[in-house]
Amino acid sequence: MELLWRIFDTLLLIIGLVYIFIRYINPYFDKRKKDINLSIEKAMEAEKRAEELYKEAQNKLDDVKKEIEKIKKEAIKESEIEKTHIIEEAKASAEKILENYLTLAKSEIDKQKRDIYQETLDMSFKIARDIINRELTEEALNKANDNLLKLTGEAIVK
């Protein structure tokens, strides 16, 4: 009999536990399961959204890279134009400097020619004076003065 009571007590305990499990614990786990499923759905939505944002960011990054390449090409093109312009200006400046140098050189050569011509004339007159002084004697000088006076007198008479 005691065994029967023990079995009865055990069955009663099991029935009580099953009732508690069905009445209280099962709804808790069902609610917890729903919360977990809801969290999983939210996580999946967040993951999809994150993937979309990643793709959008990737597209923007690609656009930015394209824009950078475009700007880089434009900068290279502009620098080539500027380089050509600078070279042309340098050539023009070099030509002006060369022109100025040639003009200055020509004027210096002309000045040197005038100076040499003047020196030549001065030397010629000096040499001529020296020759005249050396060759002209007192007698020839008197004769030249007499002729000058005679010619002057005749010119006055006329």
Q: What is the pLDDT of residue 1?
A: 75
Q: What is the pLDDT of residue 149?
A: 85
DSSP string of 139-153, one letter each residue:
HHHHHHHHHHHHHHH
User: In whole angstroms, what separates CA 126 from the centre of its chain?
Assistant: 68
Q: Look at the chain and report how many structural domains it folds into.
A: 1
Which residues of the chain are under the pLDDT cut of 70?
158
Query: Which residues constitute the domain of residue 106?
Result: 2-157
